[in-house]
Amino acid sequence: MKIRFIEPGNRPYRKSPLNYFVYDRYIRTPSNGMMILAAILKEAYDDVYCYSESISKIKWADVLDADLIFITIFTFNANRGYELAAYIKKNSRAKVVFGGLHATLNGEEAVRHGDYVLQGEGDETILPFVRALERDGDMADIPGILYQTDGRMVSTGRPLPPQQIETIPARQLLYRFQKMAGHNTIWPQVHASRGCPHSCDYCALIAAFGRGVRLRAPETVVEDIRQAIAFFDTGHRRLAKVLWITDDNFFADRDWAVQVLQAIIRSGIRYAFTIQARYEVGLDDEMLELLKQAGFVELAVGIEFLEDQSFQSYHKQSSYAGVLQAVQNIQRHGLRVRGLFIVGADGHEKGVGDRLADFVLQFNIAGALIQSMYFIPGTPVYETHKDLLLEKDNWARCTGKVVHRPQKLSPIELQKEIITASKRIYSFPRLIQAILRKRGLDRILFIGEYCWQMSVRQDLRRDIRYLRKIIGEAK
């Protein structure tokens, strides 16, 4: 059995000098989940290999004679995934199987472009699925499989989230990953736990995988970190040596989080880490001290909104006062705060971009990721807002651009608010200030993000022309 995995690129990889400065134009960090599933299959099958259009072109000569091709899709790269599937179907006899977050939430859409959809996380179902295909194709006992027969959609039911999540991703099975790991724009990443007990209305994670939190053994997390660092740093001189802990809510189980941080400290690993977090961790002094001791330099806080009304509208358990208190406390402990923001909530009006930039500048937020409100099918917010969406299936625009008609400003006005905020946060005077006054990692990261945000703004500006076309708005 020859098995290949493909991760489509929303903008397929292209060799470009931009790759050295700009994340996300022709290069981005490949999917961890794909490399975990490849590792699981590699235990049973010799010929397993992966391609990610985030870091390389696909070697079709190696892919088209495979027996089985998995295509893993998030929403933003779903259309490209369908394009690749059509090409494979035309040129190969391989069975095409879709997986990933978007395919889990939109199985009926995805299966129309392939033979099967493997829904859910796949750790415990992918091997039985491949074995069933080899045997007689009877999938009845394997939950989470979707396929069509005689024009009828057949589902084997919703899979339970896997409990065994200790597998370390097979980074070496991804074509050209070792070579591309030298780029400072892609970072080593480790996923230590899965799930989140909250239920924000726009969160695809909860819609796809439920609210149960599952944890990896602290020793496995440390081993994964060791392997990720060795993989990225061997043979490369990386400027920004930062490892990203990508959990959606690492701190959901406090006792476990403490154990993991203590295990990192005991391991003697000396590295800089960044991690995503809800604001509450910023009020936990003991945790912040442990993070510091373990080598964490930054918390990427899901601030999202700056007004309580929006938190309430989307069932985000958060408050402006709590966020502010947390930000200041994190900084008191000597950690940077990166802010993850959403604009385009129902209550947002003209000036939302300026307000966001004021907040970032006033409270010394080290970096900002700003995206327009997003609506992944299967989430509560999709159900309540689907009539406001500008397009139905153009998933490729779901990269932070405006995709709906907000209540209190036009789509173009909203997109301009994002540009305004980015321009003020990543302004030329602030770049000069960073070069002259910041040191070490702070300086490198600001310069990197400045370049990246220039490219983001360019994309957003170009996209305004497209927005005009689809909504017929005058200049």
* Contacting residues toward ligand SF4, per CB under 6 A: 196, 198-200, 203, 205-206, 248-249, 278, 302
Residue 400 beta carbon to ligand SF4: minimum distance, rounded to whole angstroms: 15
Q: Which amino acid, one-letter code, is at 402?
A: V
- Half-sphere CA count of 60, side-chain side, radius 13 A: 8
Instruction: Give me Rg for the CA atoms of the chain.
Output: 22
* Closer residue to ligand SF4 (CB): 119 or 276: 276
Handedness of CA 190, 193, 196, 202 (dihedral sign): positive
Identify whether the C-beta of residue 348 lies closer than 8 Å to the C-beta of residue 406: yes
Identify whether the C-beta of residue 147 lies closer than 8 Å to the C-beta of residue 99: no
* Closer residue to ligand SF4 (CB): 347 or 380: 380
Cα dihedral value 24, 25, 27, 31, nearest 10? 40
For residue 457, what are its two tokens?
């703004």
Handedness of CA 346, 351, 353, 354 (dihedral sign): negative
* Closer residue to ligand SF4 (CB): 312 or 410: 312
* Closer residue to ligand SF4 (CB): 69 or 196: 196
Identify whether the C-beta of residue 269 lies closer than 8 Å to the C-beta of residue 218: no
Residue 121 beta carbon to ligand SF4: minimum distance, rounded to whole angstroms: 15
Identify whether the C-beta of residue 51 lies closer than 8 Å to the C-beta of residue 63: yes
Residue 309 beta carbon to ligand SF4: minimum distance, rounded to whole angstroms: 17
Residue 24 beta carbon to ligand SF4: minimum distance, rounded to whole angstroms: 21
Residue 302 beta carbon to ligand SF4: minimum distance, rounded to whole angstroms: 5
Give the other-Cβ count within 10 Å of 48's Cβ: 24
* Closer residue to ligand SF4 (CB): 91 or 309: 309
Identify whether the C-beta of residue 159 lies closer than 8 Å to the C-beta of residue 99: no
Give the DSSP letter of residue 174.
Answer: B
Residue 207 beta carbon to ligand SF4: minimum distance, rounded to whole angstroms: 9
Residue 79 beta carbon to ligand SF4: minimum distance, rounded to whole angstroms: 24
* Closer residue to ligand SF4 (CB): 298 or 304: 304
Q: Dmax over Cα atoms in the chain, in whole Å? A: 67
Give the DSSP letter of residue 36.
Answer: H
The residue with tokens 């004021």 is: 358
Residue 55 beta carbon to ligand SF4: minimum distance, rounded to whole angstroms: 26
Strand, coil or helix: what is 356? helix
